[in-house]
Amino acid sequence: MLISLLQAGAVFSRRPGFRYPVLIFLLLCLGGCAGRLNKASARYYAGQPQQALELLEQGDHLGKRNQLLFLLEKGVVYHQLGNYQESIRQLLQAAQLIDQFEMLSVTEQAGSLVTNEWMTRYKGEYSERLWVHSYLMMNYLLLGQYDDALVEAKQALERLEKHPKALRRAYFTRALIALCFANLAEDNDAYLVYRQLANDLPSPVTVAADIVRYADRLGMADEVEKYRSFLPRNLPAGEAELVLFVANGRIPEKRPGNVVLPPSIRFAFPYYSKQTTPRPRMTILPEKWKSLPPVSSDLGTVARDSLAARKTRIIAKETLRVATKEAIAQSVGNKNDVAAEAIMRVTLFLLEEPDTRSWQTLPGRLTLLRIPLPAGHHKLQLKLNFPGIYEQHLIDLPEFEIRQGQRMFRSIRY
Amino acid sequence: MKKTLLFWSGLLIFLLLSGCTVTTREVGSDEKVIYDEGYHFSDKKAIVDAMVKSLLSKPPLLRATDRPVIIVYGIANRTGEHISTSAITDDLRQALLNTGRVRFINKTQRKNIERETSYQYGGNVAAETRIQKARQIGAKYMLTGTLRSIKKDQPRQFRLKKKTLMYYSLNMELTDLQTGLIEWADSTEVIREASKPFIGW
């Protein structure tokens, strides 16, 4: 059917050697066009978030295939600029769009079978679908809208339940979910999330204090006993808590991978580079205030896990596309001369482009740092030391007043 | 042959486009319009009606003759959706006020009341027209609640539609501020199943 559609469409050209390439050239023009997103990302990383926003606000000039990416990128840029309300607006739209993508579009899938994945609407990797909720949680917590942060925590939990293997190492988001529960005294839910996190983290030391606290409140003496042995020495305590969302580095880009087989078969697939973002040692100044053990995620690792979880689907679709294209090329060869078939094969070969679209403004690492403090006025600095680098970074935190029992949130990116 | 093909293609496109015209219609506030398994405006009405009925037909408000004063401390949203629970409390307060059997403290306007009082005592307002300080009425009861939801998706299997079951429950309590006792408590539920196709155009 696809072949006949293509043939029917080619009536615009009378010369047999040209009619297929003309049509496919048009399709090629439609595909693989994410220039504005790349430019915006370049501006953002050049320290020009406002210019990046201006580009992103112009939107996609070729339909709505990249609509999700525009919303995601705007969500991060607005977050970075401290406009949390607008970041929420963009990311809520993105979350809504992701829900709509649950329905498979027949026309879109059929179109992508004779061209490439760029023809389809970008639906986001599993990890990106989770991070929409991570940023929404952060935004709501920063605005003091704790009920809404909890709503996002529940939606993030749904994503985690859908793809447990792919998102297992999203430690930051999982700790953030637990924090949203804890913040509204939903002790049982907070305990459950921390308990699962303890199983998946390289060491339960990071969340042992929280497990002991909530297990004790829930009357689970055996759990208290078990995790007490993991408690770090000199665990800081305070009347209030400052929570820092620390973002550093840049998420690795998706790269194009290719496997070429004779005569003109090309398997194209995206992959993330092995790059990891270093985890800095974080100290609070004045040094009399100590932080709890931080929970940190390398976003590149989670992105790679997510793409790997989709591997079977990617291979299946790629095989189907290769078979369809081979059938088209052979059909052209049977009905026309060798030259027409050769042109067709070259065009289809060139058309096979891996979908390397991704959420580019994300950081490479996200860390949740909690600092217990006494109630009162504070002026603090965050000192960052990177492994193997002598130089250290000092970040001044805005002065703040914190009340007894209060939890205060700040977002930092460097 | 080509002309026939063009004719039928044109007709098909025309029919497809004619289905894409914008239409609007008025929806009555009592009408139940439900698109999916999520929370809808008609749910709010059902919830408010059920709660008002229960509050007025059970003690302590059933026997109260002195129009007791209530303060509403809001409904905590513990669902997985961004639901404006203040819309529920606003409607609840309005419906109860309309019965004339209770009175409410205007908690949301406390800051403005303070500001206006300060202004009146700032020297610009005639002394005989100033409101008197320390004459506000204290609440006897506190109205609170929690809206919860449980969502259950149909397990993964080969099918063309995905079914989702949604359960909402609103629990409300009336607490006597002097004794700290819960004098009234009730809950109302909305359970809904929706199915969505996996495949579309």
CA of A199 vs chain B CAs: smallest distance (Å): 25
User: What local confidence, expressed as pLDDT, does residue B3 receive?
Assistant: 66
Yes or no, beta carbons of B82 and A151 under 8 Å apart:
yes
Asked whether residue A26 carries a pLDDT value surpassing 70, the answer given is no
Residue A33 pLDDT greater than 70, yes or no? no
In angstroms, the Cα distances linking B171 to A79, B46, B50, B77 are: 35, 14, 11, 11
Termini Cα distance of chain B = 28
User: Structurally, how many domains does chain A consist of?
Assistant: 1
Cβ–Cβ below 8 Å for B201 and A147: no
Q: Which residue of A has its CA nearest to B3?
A: A11
pLDDT digit string, tens, across residues A57-95: 998 766 788 999 999 999 999 999 999 999 999 999 999
Secondary-structure percent of chain A, ordered helix, strand, coil, rounded to 5: 55, 15, 30
Find which of A288-302, B3-17, B143-157 is predicted with most confidence, using mean pLDDT: A288-302
The answer to whether the CB atoms of A155 and B80 lie below 8 A apart is yes
As for how many domains chain B has, the answer is 1
Mutate to test the interface with A, among B35, B77, B85 (most CBs of A within 10 A): B77
Q: Is some CB atom of chain B closer than 8 A to the CB atom of A161?
A: no
Among candidate residues A172, A237, A174, the one with its CA nearest the CA of residue A209: A237
CA geometry: angle A409, A40, A144, nearest 5 deg: 15
Provide the pLDDT for residue A109. 79
Which of A104, A154, A155 lies at the smallest CB-CB distance from B198?
Answer: A104
Q: Say what the pLDDT of residue A7 is.
A: 43
Q: Which of A2-16, A83-97, B13-27, B138-152 has the lowest mean pLDDT?
A: A2-16
Write the CATH number for A130: 1.25.40.10
Q: Is A154 part of the contact surface with chain B (CB cutoff 8 Å)? A: yes
Q: For position B106, which CATH number holds?
A: 3.40.50.10610
With cut-offs at 50, 70 and 90, classify the pLDDT of residue A6. Answer: very low
Chain B positions touching A102 (Cβ under 8 A) are 162, 196, 198
Q: Are A309 and A127 in contact (CB under 8 A)?
A: no
**pLDDT score recorded for residue A350:** 84
Residue A15: its pLDDT value, please? 47
Q: Is pLDDT at A5 greater than 60 in this prediction?
A: no
- Confidence band of A28 (pLDDT split at 50, 70, 90): low
d(CA A277, CA A112): 34
Strands A265-272 and A254-261: antiparallel
Rounded mean pLDDT, A43-59: 94
Within 8 A of B84 by CB-CB distance, chain A residues are: none
Q: Which residues pair with A368 in a beta bridge?
A: A245, A295
pLDDT confidence tier of residue A162, bands split at 50, 70 and 90: very high
Please state, for a pLDDT cut of 90, what percent of chain A lies above it: 65
Confidence at residue A325, expressed as pLDDT on a 0 to 100 scale:
83
Residue B51 has pLDDT above 90, yes or no: yes
B2 falls within a domain: no
Smallest CA–CA distance, residue B78 to chain A, in Å, is: 7
Q: Is residue B115 part of a domain?
A: yes
CB A160 within 8 A of CB A170: yes
- Annotate A374-400 with DSSP letters as a single string: -SEEE--EEEEE-TT---EEEEEPPPE
The residue-averaged pLDDT of A283-297 equals 94
| Chain segment B72-104, per-residue pLDDT in tens | 999 999 999 999 899 999 999 999 999 999 999
- Mean predicted lDDT score pLDDT of chain A: 88
Q: Taking a C-beta distance cutoff of 8 angstroms, is the pair A252, A273 a contact?
A: yes
Query: Does residue A32 surpass a pLDDT of 60?
Result: no
Q: Give the pLDDT mean for B166-185.
A: 96
Say yes or no for a CB contact (<8 Å) between A151 and B162: no
Q: At what angle do helices A187-200 and A171-183 cross, to 10 degrees?
A: 160
Query: Cα angle vertex A135, ends B76, A232, to 5°?
Result: 85
Domain limits for position A288? 2-413
Task: Return the ∠ at Cα A84 (arms to A170 and A128), rounded to 5°.
Answer: 30
How many C-beta neighbours within 10 Å does residue A87 have?
24
Any domain includes B93: yes
The band of A327, judged by pLDDT with boundaries at 50, 70 and 90, is: confident
* Chain B residues within an 8 Å CB radius of A107: 201
Predicted structure pTM score: 0.84
Cα(A128)–Cα(A124) distance, rounded to whole angstroms? 6
* pLDDT at A278 exceeding the cut of 60: yes
Backbone angle region of A47, left / alpha / beta, with phi > 0 → left and psi within -120 to 50 → alpha:
left
B143/B42: higher pLDDT: B143
Q: What residues of chain A lie within 8 A of the CB of B75, using their CB?
A: none
Q: Which of B2, B77, B201 sits opposite A105 (nearest CB)?
A: B201
**Min distance B196 CA to chain A CA atoms (Å):** 8
Q: What pLDDT is attached to residue A2?
A: 38
Rounded distance, CA B110 to CA B120, Å? 15
> Which of A92, A106, A184 has the CB atom closest to B199's CB atom?
A106
Q: What does the pLDDT read at residue A20?
A: 54
Q: What is the pLDDT of residue A217?
A: 93
Q: Residue A88 region, left (φ>0) first, then alpha (ψ -120 to 50), else beta?
A: alpha
Note down the domain range covering B104: 36-126+137-147+169-190
Which residue stretches of A263-401 are H helix? 299-309, 311-335, 338-351
Q: With bands split at pLDDT 50, 70 and 90, how would you rate the model's confidence at A341?
A: confident
CB contact under 8 A, A150 and B77: yes
User: A103 vs B76: CB contact, 8 Å cut-off?
Assistant: no
Q: Which helix (H) or strand (E) holds A87?
A: helix A84-100
pLDDT greater at residue B16 or residue B111: B111
Kindly compute the dihedral angle of the four CA atoms of residues A341, A345, A346, A352, in this order, to the nearest 10 degrees.
160
Is position B173 within any domain?
A: yes
* pLDDT computed for residue A319 by the predictor: 87
Q: In chain A, pLDDT over 70 holds for what percent of residues?
A: 91
pLDDT score at A362: 98
Cis omega (within 30 of 0) for bond into B197: no
Q: Is residue B74 part of a domain?
A: yes
